[in-house]
Amino acid sequence: MKPSPKTKTAATPPAKAVKATRTAKAPRPGKAAEITEAADPAPETIDAGGEPRAVAPARASIRDVAEAAGVSLKTVSRVINEDAAVRPEMRERVRQAIAALNYQSDPLARSLRGTHSFALGLVYSNPNAHYLVSLQNGVLSACREQGYGLQIHPCSTPAHGSIEELLALVRRSRLAGLVLAPPMSEQRDLVQALAAHGVAVIRIVSAGDDPRDMQDCVRVDDRRAAHAVTEHLIQLGHSRISFLWGEGYYESSVQRYAGYMDAMRDYGVEVDPQLVLEGEFNFNSGFRRARKLLAMSAPPTAVFGSNDEIAAGVLAAARSVGFDVPSDLAIAGFEDSPFSQLTWPPLTTARQDTVEIGRRAALRLIERVRHAQSGRPLDLGAEQFTPELVVRGSAAPPRRR
């Protein structure tokens, strides 16, 4: 067999170094000369056929917007920075030019140039990967929508996030404010210290009775949602219902346990203290505690895990000792994480819209910052979300033993 001929390709000529030239515009009377940089000619490349092909032009600049709208650079900057003094017709012309050119400003660059900041910080110490990704996506979507940048700042533990560390973060990155995720959002001393230093904060908290959680917060009604999950198990006919805590320093753990107790009390179901076990918000903790429960002489007929990771651990433990789910053991979780639909059977749970919670927290922070920048402070109060019951195949009426 003859070897196939080699395909000839056009050689790419070496790139020429091009220097930007600086020219001085003739100054107007009483004004210093303005220095601008001449744009480089659009570069070309050689395609496979040896023909020159123009590279896509660079994205539009603020100068392009000003020329298209027939206004000054300063006017474009004032519109981007939402200066209320710009006339409505002028503002509309600039916005139309921005849309036509698909101009995108750099929030961080705006923050560094101006007196106002256009970047937020998201601070967390929660190790739950699904929760964090969903929360970040929600906060980021709001920032993109409003033209803000986002800096994400993890803390290894709740105690790690000291006031000095967070103040340094705000100063170093010129942040307009912080979104605090639980459990850091529940540290009263930290929140008060940030407020004393003038840092705008919106907190995501589990809805309790503390009056300090009634303002500048996005609240999640874990208690009511946990009541609904427990009520569902009771209505299926279960009375020996176990509750598995997450970490006790999370207010969500406290509120979910309170919801469980409320439902048991409302239906007159006696709580066996041996069925209530403390632990952590993770799979291994759920597995270990479930093995302990299922080894009892009178094991529970249903287990309510404080989150889906715990519930998945319970499901694995049940399988490991030959329990059928849901006939021998009903299982429910909390959060509606992606894998809650991938287990077999899929988990009954409470759906928590973490993406929307993050988005609303960021939007409320931006609203507060804008009012403060305009000299009109705003008390936002609190916005509340209630997770909803999602019934799937992991819970059914108990089998007679």
Residues 216 and 361 in one domain: yes
- Please provide residue 284's backbone torsions phi and psi, each rounded to the nearest 5 degrees: -60, -40
Q: What is the CATH number of the domain that holds 252?
A: 3.40.50.2300
Closest by Cα among 297, 367, 342 to 148: 367
Choosing from 105, 135, 161, the residue where a domain stops is 105
Residues 244 and 153 in one domain: no
Q: What is the CATH number of the domain that holds 86?
A: 1.10.260.40
- Please provide residue 196's backbone torsions phi and psi, each rounded to the nearest 5 degrees: -65, -25
Q: What is the pLDDT along the chain (401 residues), one digit of tens a residue?
A: 444 444 444 444 444 443 333 334 444 443 333 333 333 444 444 444 455 444 445 677 778 888 898 988 778 777 776 666 688 888 888 888 888 887 766 554 444 444 567 899 999 987 788 899 999 999 999 999 999 999 999 987 655 558 888 999 999 999 999 999 999 998 888 998 998 899 999 999 998 877 777 778 999 999 999 999 999 999 999 999 999 999 998 999 999 999 999 999 999 999 999 999 999 999 999 999 999 999 999 999 999 999 999 999 999 999 999 999 999 999 999 999 988 999 999 999 999 999 999 999 999 999 999 888 776 666 667 899 999 999 999 999 998 76
Q: Is residue 241 part of a domain?
A: yes
Choosing from 105, 138, 170, the residue where a domain stops is 105
Please classify residue 379 by burial: count the beta carbons closer than 10 Å to its beta carbon, then call 0-12 exposed, 13-18 middle and 19+ buried. exposed
Q: Is residue 52 part of a domain?
A: no
180 in Cβ contact with 202 (< 8 Å): yes
Residues 137 and 193 in one domain: yes
- Please provide residue 255's backbone torsions phi and psi, each rounded to the nearest 5 degrees: -70, -35
Q: Which residue has the tokens 């020996």?
A: 240
Tokens of 301: 């007929």
* Count of structural domains, the chain: 3
Residues 232 and 305 in one domain: yes
Q: Which residue has the tokens 């207010």?
A: 251
Residues 215 and 359 in one domain: yes
Q: Which residues contact 144 (CB under 8 A, 6 or more apart)?
A: none
Task: Identify the domain containing residue 183 by its residue range.
Answer: 117-220+355-387
Residue 10: what pLDDT?
42
